[in-house]
Amino acid sequence: MKSALEIPVGDSFEAVVCAGITAPFDINAPARLGVPLVVSSPHSGRDYPVAFLAASRLNLRQLRRSEDSFVEMLFAAAPGIGAHLLAARFPRAYVDVNREPFELDPDMFDAPLPDYVDITSKRAAAGLGTIARIVAANVEIYRERLSFVEVEHRIKALYMPFREALGQLIETTQRHFGCAVLLDCHSMPSGSLDRHVDIVLGDRHGTSAHADLVCAAYESLKSMGYSVVRNEPYAGGAITRRYGRPDAATHAIQVEINRALYMDEDTFQPLDGFEKLRQDMSNFISTLGYFSLRNIPTLTRASAWALPN
């Protein structure tokens, strides 16, 4: 954890094909803590192990369709306002940290799974467990059934260190300020919604963050001209559920950004709007960070809950 604080978040738009993933995440640390905010990008990793590509029936471009591409770049200003930025280096298609640690589809494996594995998970049954079976458009990833030993290694080597680092950053922030706000940052395919929506804010239907905090986030984005909705269709995943505990003075909001705002979804290259969006997200996290700083007494109250939808 301590050594990871010196690892910078990457600035390349290209995926990396590697022999193995030696560092599960990057952390950009502020010179000093200035606001009670932690920014996380769990799905923007693009380091693809050679063995994973060989085991897949898909090519690299097809696998990348599940990436929240470049999200960590959009929120790269976090350290400048005094907040940590945590970004996964491994791709979501390889391990999904926005799930519980062992949400697995038993049909993916070559032998029965241990009793502690959650084989009843609806997400895993849909192909989107901790180890995904499919990418976008329900395309199967693997050529053959998997070994649990290999999958368990992925979870222990990548998932668990990421979650531990996230928990430690939130704990450090809360210890310093008395409360902590997690901004869990993602992107969504432009075709995933029936109507045009730029950004979806998820607060687990009013349970993961204080009402004033959610309203501040909503109003900040609306004031920049974005079309914003709450909780539909993305209310927040396992990370928001785990760390969004207003009664314990930790708040979590999931942010989903429409990829059409900033990237070509076929070529995985930035569009002209990328820099504007990056600047807007810089202003957004600054607004939310300083709002949180001014409202620490409110955010530390055990009775704080978000507005109903």
Does any domain span residue 41? yes
Does any domain span residue 15? yes
Does any domain span residue 145? no
Whether the predicted pLDDT of 285 surpasses 70: yes
Q: Is the dihedral of CA 199, 204, 205, 209 positive or negative?
A: negative
3-state secondary structure of 9: coil
Counting the structural domains of the chain, the total is 1
* CA–CA separation, 260 and 188 (whole Å): 9
Does any domain span residue 142? no
Query: For the segment 108-137, what is each residue's pLDDT rounded down to a tens digit?
Result: 999 999 999 999 999 999 999 999 999 977
11 φ/ψ angles, rounded to the nearest 5 degrees: -130, 20
Residue pair 174/250 in contact by the 8 Å Cβ criterion: yes
Give the CA angle between residues 92, 95, 96 to the nearest 5°: 60
3-state secondary structure of 180: strand
Does any domain span residue 231? yes
Grade residue 304 by pLDDT with cuts at 50, 70 and 90: very low
Q: E strand or H helix at 251, and its extent?
A: strand 250-258
Whether the predicted pLDDT of 306 surpasses 70: no
Count other C-beta atoms under 10 Å from residue 180's C-beta.
Answer: 26
Contacts of 152 (CB under 8 A, 6+ apart): none
Whether the predicted pLDDT of 278 surpasses 80: yes
* CA–CA separation, 145 and 106 (whole Å): 10
State the pTM of this model. 0.93
Segment 137-141 mean pLDDT: 89
- Output the domain CATH number for residue 232: 3.40.630.40
Regarding beta strands 199-202 and 269-270, do their DSSP bridges make them parallel or antiparallel, or are they unpaired?
A: unpaired
Grade residue 207 by pLDDT with cuts at 50, 70 and 90: very high
Grade residue 309 by pLDDT with cuts at 50, 70 and 90: very low
Query: For the segment 235-275, what is each residue's pLDDT rounded down to a tens digit?
Result: 999 999 999 999 999 999 999 999 999 999 999 999 999 99
Q: What is the pLDDT of residue 193?
A: 81
Q: What is the pLDDT of residue 208?
A: 97
Grade residue 192 by pLDDT with cuts at 50, 70 and 90: confident
Residue pair 159/242 in contact by the 8 Å Cβ criterion: no
Burial of 138 (0-12, 13-18, 19+ CB in 10 A): exposed
Does any domain span residue 245? yes
Grade residue 106 by pLDDT with cuts at 50, 70 and 90: very high
Q: Which residues face 250 on adjacent strands?
A: 180, 245
Between the CA atoms of 188, 189, 193 and 195, what dihedral angle is there, to the nearest 10 degrees?
Answer: 100
Q: What percent of the chain has pLDDT over 90?
A: 89
Segment 195-206 mean pLDDT: 94
Query: If you average pLDDT over every residue of the chain, what do you get?
Result: 93
Segment 215-233 mean pLDDT: 97
Contacts of 138 (CB under 8 A, 6+ apart): 127
Q: What is the pLDDT of residue 8?
A: 39
Residue pair 179/245 in contact by the 8 Å Cβ criterion: no
Count the alpha carbons within 13 Å of 193 in the hemisphere toward its beta carbon. 23
Whether the predicted pLDDT of 86 surpasses 70: yes
3-state secondary structure of 118: strand
Does any domain span residue 29? yes
Does any domain span residue 306? no
Q: What is the pLDDT of residue 217?
A: 98
Residue pair 18/90 in contact by the 8 Å Cβ criterion: no
Q: Which domain holds residue 63?
A: 3-91+163-299
Whether the predicted pLDDT of 229 surpasses 80: yes
Q: What is the pLDDT of residue 13?
A: 83
